[in-house]
Chains A and B, each alone.
Chain A
Amino acid sequence: MDWITTVDHKKIGILYLMSGFLFFLFGGIEAILIRVQLAVPENDFLSGEIYNQIVTMHGTTMIFLAVMPAIFGLMNAIVPLQIGARDVAFPFMNAVSFWMFFFGGVLLNCSWFLGGAPAAGWTAYAPLSDIYEGLGMDFYVLGLQIAGAGTLMGGINFLVTIVNMRAPGLTWMRLPMFTWSIFITSVLILFAFPALTIGLFLLFFDRLFGGNFFDPSAGGNPIIWEHIFWIFGHPEVYILILPAFGILSDVISQHSRKRIFGYTSMVLALVLIGFLAFMVWAHHMFTVGLGPVANSVFAIMTMAIAIPTGVKIFNWLFTLWGGQIRFTTANLFALGFIPTFVMGGTTGVMLAVVTADFQFHDSYFVVAHFHYVIVGGLVFGLFAGIYHWWPKIFGRFLNETIGKWNFWLFFIGFHLTFFPQHFLGLMGMPRRNFTYPAELGWGDMNFISSIGAAFMGVATILFTWNIVVTSIKGEKAKGDAWYGDGRTLEWSISSPAPEYNFAQTPLVKEFDAFWAEKRNGNDRVTPAEPLGEIHMPNNSIIPIIMSFGAFIAGFGFIFSAENKSSLFVAAFGLAIMFGSMLVHSLYDDHGHHLIPDELKQKESKRKGAEA
């Protein structure tokens, strides 16, 4: 019960991580099916129709339902701790965000059992997605609409949190890199997700109420969808990678016992990348026929992104330079990230060479590129972050031996899978093809690629095993879990953090506050206030009911194209949703206070346990 009513950012973080991981397993199974089908030429394991559904769901699930929530999980679990806050700015809304995402994801996956999943690719290009595909597309539209609403709320929440709730003395230029990256990510979410919302609404009107926005046979223009989708979609890929940059900066710096090199330029690079992310969407559309002028401008903008990205890479290398690098699993993933991401970034520059991109585009070269940045970049980064912060979140370490197997299998499997795909692309293999002829010589490399996928599958099973074993008898973690090398505020409190996070709000005097205090001989960060009463929000069942209303409304709309009376179901769902909002607004909930005595007791008990 506590889990479905919680408004505590740490628990919501865990919910995000767990459900993200669940969807990651779904997406992973879909990936394995894809690789089985493509392992040999002219395979008939899957039909074209089923294959398209699996490819579409793989992409959509991985991006929206697996890695996004994993990022949200880490940012929920860690950011308030890094800035010395007791919770996020809007704890209630935080719970709504999670449940909206969760029910959106469930809705999307219900399509498997109700007439087939969407099959127009995760990019859902019209008019294929608009008038040629079945019910599955309606699940795509409404599932993403609901999940996307949750994401947008989450972004706003973290913006406000980071702007308003930093501990005294934690100025902008003292923020930990991870928090900085989440701040920029939240800005990107704020500006990018509304584009998706609008695009999905237009598609929704086209499909369910006979609008003609994207239907050329009725005067609509399908290219508009591509623009809207990529105006959202390109920032989205930076929404994904920036948090990984942040994680990497923190992990590398802590596990090599060095301050991040070139902090100011790291922050500037983040800001610049975030800005440029909105200027390059048409590089996904070089072959659409936008004309030479547009293509040239977008090419140059795209290449420009490589400059701040390069700055980050070298700053990481020089953070390591002169340090004492420990090869913990977290750091292995972080180190594995660097060469891998550089390869993904350099192929990105090659893709920006417009006329060469006429050859690369929609071929396996692109598939290789974006997996190098999304898996080799983001997923490696997430693994690094998860191994790094696991003790802080759960109070126990993940097992390092299993962790190292996990890393090596995943790392080798990853390169086996995706490196050959560069060549497949150059040899002319288009992406999203469910089969290919034997004569073209694509068989061998596809086979290698499929073997690599199996490696990654095993690595994921090991990771799951690691979670299970260590949750039963994992090594307990101290507050400053990693060799006492913690640098930022989250390591200055117990693991896991108590429900109020900081008994006394810390006073930040320097960058890497906790590290600096330790160097000055203190074992904790100077508090900014005396021990006092702590105001805490109450749990609430409303977020889950509200999101469930949206879920029901989604079903109602999906089936309304076939049967108008299901609009009543939609109305019922909306009534639940707005009803719960009304209840929440009318009913005053002032939260509760943790009284100082109880608090002192807790604190001293905790101290006793740690000593």
Chain B
Amino acid sequence: MKLISRFGRFAPLVLAFLLILSGCNTNSSALNPVGKNAKMQADLMLLSLGIMLLVILAVMVIFFYVIIRFRKRKDDDSIPEQVEGNTKLEIIWTVIPIILIIIIAIPTVYQVFVLADDRPSASEIDKENAIRIKVTAHQYWWQFEYPDLGIQTATDLYVPTGKKVYVELTSKDVIHSFWVPTLFGKQDANPGLVNRMWFEVPKEGVYLGQCAELCGASHALMDFSVVALSPDKFEAWKKEMKKGADEPKTAEAKQGRKIFKQQCLRCHAIGKNGGNVGPNLAAYGERTMISGILEYNKKNLKNWILNAPKYKADILMPSFSDGSGAKLTEQQADALAEYLMQQKTGIELPQQ
């Protein structure tokens, strides 16, 4: 009975396994690779998984054979032969793993070096085949600078499709880790040090990313997106971004701009002017999510402005409703939200 239930236990697992490998195509899954790096990484994941499944299978077969065949029978009280060992067998199960490991090690080392090609050549940049981005992690948001273009974004990272994106990664405070499972595996963002990596996105889309190193109370909320645009759209977006803040179009938005200048500018910039304690809010009207975690709409934006620490504990942004920052009314917060939502480049965003 017990033995049967032992066998049975594995059937659903194997089933679940196949189901999941084939079916789980969520936007955060490393098994659904889109980017060049993620595809290479997935190849190695599957190669090593395949070999390891063989090993598991071999062990399981011997294991179940042994525990069924050699269980103690009631009537048998003989003393089993006390075997000391068997050199031939022992050599076999030393050599076979060595071979398997070599099979895994060679492509591993090869790929390590391919993925480590981490500095753009001058001609790549000149010919605009590549783009450089400086990523700075903060508790609990991501800052993106384009040193060759003179623009900045936060939380949404815009990149052109089909071009190599070279990343310089660092952190302002603690260690974070930069990870978009469908595009590339993670790299740590270390304070005081710079890490380099590259990635490439073949098709338009919005790809979810997240911090992967425990960085404090709101670590789980440190999400971001990579927005990949076709090279043409990216050109247009870049031009719009260089123009700086958009003029408010309505009275409410005008009021919003005024409050923004008084309350927000010391930490946030829109385009070039303003502080950089918090994220740059350029083109905020096109953000995919509020602070990477809330659905993008005016109500959520207003609530965020009034009460940011309620959504992300331990952040630098004060609450504007309980007096830790200046006190804003609901109407003022609405005006601010309206002002921000009018900041647009007008580029059509790809579907999520």
Kindly list the 4 A-B residue pairs having the minimum CB-CB distance in the complex, ordered from nearest: A358-B185, A216-B192, A428-B28, A433-B220
Q: Is the CB of A296 within 8 A of B220?
A: no
Between A289, A291, A299, A519, the greatest number of chain B beta carbons within 10 A of the residue's beta carbon is seen for A289
**Is there contact, CB below 8 Å, between B44 and A128?**
no
Shortest CB distance B115–A (Å): 5
Is B181 close to A, CB under 8 A?
yes
- On whether A217 and B192 interact (CB within 8 A), knowing A287-B177, A322-B81, the answer reads yes
B30 contacts A430, C-beta separation under 8 Å? no
Select from chain A the residue with minimum beta-carbon distance to B71: A325
Interface window among A24-32, A337-345, A584-592: A337-345
- Determine how close the nearest CB of chain B comes to the CB of A513; give it in whole angstroms: 14
Chain B, interface residues (CB within 8 Å), range? 35 or more
Q: Is the CB of B85 within 8 A of A264?
A: yes
Known: A257-B72, A296-B109, A362-B212. 11 other contacts (CB 8 A): A52-B217, A259-B84, A311-B93, A313-B59, A320-B70, A342-B56, A350-B45, A361-B186, A427-B31, A432-B214, A439-B26
Could you tell me if A363 and B52 are in contact, using CB atoms closer than 8 angstroms?
A: no
Closest to B13 in A: A419
B30 partner residues in chain A, CB cutoff 8 A: 359, 426-428
B349, chain A: closest CB distance, angstroms: 18
Taken together as a complex, chains A and B put the C-alpha atoms of A440 and B31 apart, in Å, by: 13
Q: Does A205 contact B (CB under 8 A)?
A: no
Q: Closest chain B residue to A127 by CB distance?
A: B174
A49 touches B86 (CB 8 A): no
Q: How far is the CB of A220 from chain B (nearest CB, A)?
A: 8
List, in ascending order, chain B residues with CB within 8 A of A291's CB.
116
Say how far B276's CB is from chain A's closest CB, in angstroms: 17
CB-based nearest B residue for A285: B188
What are 19 residue pairs bridging A and B, where the CB atoms are less than 8 Å apart in the complex? A125-B175, A223-B193, A261-B83, A261-B84, A262-B84, A265-B90, A299-B112, A300-B105, A300-B109, A304-B101, A311-B90, A317-B66, A325-B70, A335-B67, A346-B55, A362-B186, A423-B16, A434-B220, A440-B27
Is B62 close to A, CB under 8 A? yes
CA distance A288 to B184 in the complex (A): 15
Task: List A residues 19-60 near B (Cβ within 8 Å).
Answer: 47-49, 52
- B-contact 0/1 string along A409-438, CB 8 Å cutoff: 000100100011001001111101111110
A440 in complex: contacting residue of B26, B48, B174, B313, CB < 8 Å = B26
Closest to B54 in A: A346
Per-residue contact bits, chain B 87-124, to A (CB 8 Å; 1 contact, 0 not)? 00110011001100100110011011101100000000
Flag if B83 contacts A349 (CB, 8 Å): no
Closest partner residue, chain A, to B55 (CB atom): A346
CB within 8 A of B112: which of A292, A310, A313, A415? Answer: A292
User: Which A residues are within 8 Å of any B CB, using their own CB?
Assistant: 47-49, 52, 119-121, 125, 127-128, 132, 216-217, 220-223, 256-259, 261-265, 287-289, 291-292, 295-296, 299-300, 303-304, 306-307, 310-311, 313-315, 317-318, 320-327, 335, 338-339, 342-343, 346-347, 349-350, 352-363, 412, 415, 419-420, 423, 426-430, 432-437, 439-441, 519
Q: Could you tell me the distance between the alpha carbons of A350 and B50 in the complex, rounded to whole angstroms? A: 10
**Given the contacts A296-B108, A423-B24, A125 and B214 also touching, CB distance less than 8 Å:** yes
In the complex, what distance in Å separates the CA atom of A300 from the CA atom of B102? 9
**Interface residue B60 (Cβ < 8 Å from any Cβ of A):** yes
In the bound complex, residues from chain A placing their C-beta under 8 Å from that of B182 are 428
Q: Which residues of A contact B27 (CB under 8 A)?
A: 440
Contact B71 A289 (CB under 8 A): no
**CB closest chain-B residue, reference A515:** B82
- Does any Cβ of A come within 8 Å of B264's Cβ? no
Cross-interface CB contact of B190 among A288, A299, A300, A318, cutoff 8 Å: A288
